[in-house]
Amino acid sequence: QDNLVEIRSLKKYFNVKDGQTVKSVDDISIEIRRGETFGLVGESGSGKSTLGKTLVGLQSPTSGEIIYNDQNVLDLDRETARNVNKEMQIIFQDPHASLNPRMRVGEIIAEGIDAYKLAKGKQRTERIYELLERVGLRPEHAKRFPHEFSGGQRQRIGIARALAVEPKFIVADEPISALDVSIQAQVINLMEELKETEGLTYLFIAHDLGMVKHISDRIGVMYLGKMMELSNSDDMFRNPLHPYTQALLSAIPKANPRTAKRERIVLMGDPPSPTNPPSGCRFRTRCPHAMDICAAKDPEWKQVEDEHWVACHLY
C-alpha cells in the first residue's frame, strides 16, 4: 500500500481541572493512502478534531508516531519539518471564525505564499487571482473583506488559503457542517474536483456518516478517543459490524422509507464523561449487545476482513 500518512499508537491527552485527564485520542493507529479520501466520523467529543489538528502539527501528541511520506514528522530537522508543515494543511468548520475579519481576502490567501516566500510582486498578485478562480471566486474579490461573503463563499476562501502553499494532504474538519444544505453539495463538488486537479489526499471529518458516504474511499468511526471500526465506504454501509456504527447508520434518514429495512436503533443515555470513560469497551454503557466481558476487557483492534477492522468483543 502506498501510504501518505501513517499514524502509530497516537495519543493526545489533556490535563483538565482537578488532576483529571481527557484521553482525546487514545492509542489510534491508521494509515491514510495517497490519493484517497479518508472519512473520519464521530459525535462531538469523540476526538476526531483533536486527531486532525495533531496530524497537521497544530498540537503535539502525548505519544506515538506520525509518519508522512515515510518520514517521522516528530523527528525532523527544521528545514524538512517546515516543508512537511507546508504540505499538510487544514480547513476548518467555521470559515467565519477562521478568517481574520480585518484582512482583505487577497491578503488572507497570501499569508502562506508570504510565509514560504513562494511568490512576490506581480507573480504574487497573479497567484492570488488564480487561486480565487480555482475555487469559483473572482479576482476582484481579493479586495473585499470576509464579511462581504456568504458562508459557502467563505469556505471557498478557506480552501483557497489552504491551496496557496500547494499542499498534498488536507484535513477538512467538518468543512460543510455549518453550511446550508443547498450549499453543502457545491463545496463537496469543489473539493472532489480539486482533489483530482491538485493531486490531494483528504482526511474528511464529519459528525455524521451520511456526510462522508459519497466522498470517502474509506471510513473510520471514533468514539471517546478510540477507533471503533474502519472499512471501505461500501462495506461500512452494507455491512456495519460495530454496534455504534450500526446505531449511527440507523439514524440516517432514508430516501424512501417504505423500502428501508433498517430499524432505527436508539442509543441509551448520553455519551459518558470523557474524563471518566467506562472500563473495558467505552461504548458499553450505551451498547444494546453489552456482555460481561465488555466491562472487564478493552476489545482489541481486529481485522475481520481484508479491508475491515473492528474493536468489539462480538467479533
Residues interacting with ligand SF4, by CB under 6 A?
Answer: 242-243, 281, 283-284, 287, 289-291, 294, 299, 312-314
CB of 203 to ligand SF4, least distance (A): 24
Q: Is residue 246 near Mg ion by the rule CB under 5 A?
A: no
Verify binding: residue 50, Mg ion, rule CB under 5 A: no
Least distance CB 296 / ligand SF4 (angstroms) = 10
243 binds, among ligand SF4, Mg ion, none (CB under 5 to 8 A by kind): ligand SF4
Question: How many residues make contact with Mg ion (CB under 5 A)?
Answer: 1
* Residue 245 in the binding site for Mg ion (CB under 5 A): no
Cβ(231)–Cβ(218) below 8 Å: yes
For residue 58, the minimal CB distance to Mg ion (Å) is 13
Q: How far is the CB of 247 from Mg ion (least distance, A)?
A: 20
- Angle at CA of residue 178, ends 229 and 184, nearest 5°: 80
Which of ligand SF4, Mg ion, none does 49 bind, CB closer than 5 to 8 A by kind? Mg ion
143 vs 289, beta carbon nearer ligand SF4:
289
Could you tell me the maximum CA-CA distance found in the chain, to the nearest angstrom?
68
Name which of 106 and 299 has its Cβ closer to ligand SF4: 299
Between 174 and 229, name the residue whose CB sits nearer to ligand SF4: 229
Least distance between ligand SF4 and beta carbon 212 (Å): 21
Q: Which stretch binds Mg ion (CB under 5 A): 47-55, 76-84, 117-125, 136-144?
A: 47-55
- Length of the chain, in residues: 315
The reply to whether 98 sits near Mg ion by the rule CB under 5 A is no
Residue 141 site contact among Mg ion, ligand SF4, none (CB < 5 to 8 Å, cut-off depends on kind): none
Minimum CB distance to ligand SF4, residue 254 (Å): 24
Q: Using CA atoms, how far apart are residues 262 and 264, in angstroms rounded to an integer? A: 6
Out of 24, 49, 50, 153, the only residue in the binding site for Mg ion (CB under 5 A) is 49
Task: Kindly tell me which of 94 and 166 has the beta carbon lying closer to Mg ion.
Answer: 94
How much is the CA Rg of the chain, to the nearest whole Å? 21
Q: How far apart are CA 180 and CA 193, in angstroms?
A: 20
Closer Cβ to Mg ion, 110 or 227, answer by number:
227
Cell, residue 108: 488572507
Residue 313, contacted partner among Mg ion, ligand SF4, none, CB below 5-8 A by kind: ligand SF4
Other CB atoms within a 10 A radius of the CB of residue 151 amount to 16
- Pick what 296 binds: Mg ion, ligand SF4, none; C-beta below 5 to 8 Å, kind-dependent: none
Segment interacting with Mg ion, rule: CB under 5 A, options 41-49, 144-152, 190-198, 290-298: 41-49
Of 260 and 268, nearer to ligand SF4 (C-beta) is: 268
Residues lying near Mg ion in the complex (CB under 5 A):
49
